A and B are shown apart, each in its own frame.
Chain A
């Protein structure tokens, strides 16, 4: 069945460091792929999405490319800020929505 596997956390980075959070998926067909972000005490909100192979989603300096050949959708940001501290979830569509377990990111000044 469908599933999403993402990098275990927590991740701690210094401000302006490069961020990568790995995400791979298994699916029948061609799912849409998403990254959601959850700031402390809040619900999840969509960060970016990609709907077909080779699409690149981007928002707020974050990027992720839909790689069908490696079934991956890794999240990257070139220079993280303290305000990026949050939990990040990778997700895919199918009969339901499938979420990874989340990766907690802390950015220190």
Chain B
């Protein structure tokens, strides 16, 4: 009963380093997305995907790359980490965005950039 799995749960990076946050879902959901959560800012959409091979930018895409080669996986890449990217990141998926679809969230990845 895995749902949405994110790894790692915690990560500390130095400025300029790169890393990938992994996200996998086993519910055959077409829609997947990445959010960042910062104090006082709520949830902000970084990138999303409506199916394999299709990605699009959200509200705050700069500094992040994504790809969607399979239905199950949606990794988020930071190519050159900056302190402003210190945040908690959530991956979420849904079987649809319109209609009655609800989002299922992972447990979050806490990233600190020094």
A: residues with CB less than 8 A from B are: 32, 34, 36, 42-46, 49, 51, 89, 91, 93-97, 99-102
Contact = CB atoms under 8 A, between A and B. Distances in A.
B41 interface: yes
B97 A96 contact: yes
B33 A96 contact: yes
A97 B31 CA distance: 10
Contacts of A89: 42-43
Contacts of B101: 32, 93
Interface of B: 33, 35, 40-43, 45, 48, 58, 90, 92, 94, 97-103, 105-108
18 contacts: A32-B102, A43-B108, A44-B43, A44-B92, A44-B103, A44-B105, A46-B102, A91-B103, A93-B97, A93-B98, A93-B101, A94-B97, A96-B58, A97-B33, A97-B45, A97-B92, A97-B103, A100-B42
Nearest to A97: B103
A101 B42 contact: yes
Given A44-B105, A101-B41, A102-B42, A32 B99 contact: yes
B44 to A, nearest CB: 8
Contacts of A93: 97-99, 101
A32 B43 contact: no
A27 to B, nearest CB: 11
Given A97-B94, A99-B43, A32 B58 contact: no
Contacts of A95: 97-98
Which 10 pairs between the two chains have the least Cβ-Cβ distance? A101-B42, A43-B105, A99-B43, A44-B105, A51-B100, A102-B42, A43-B107, A43-B108, A32-B100, A46-B102
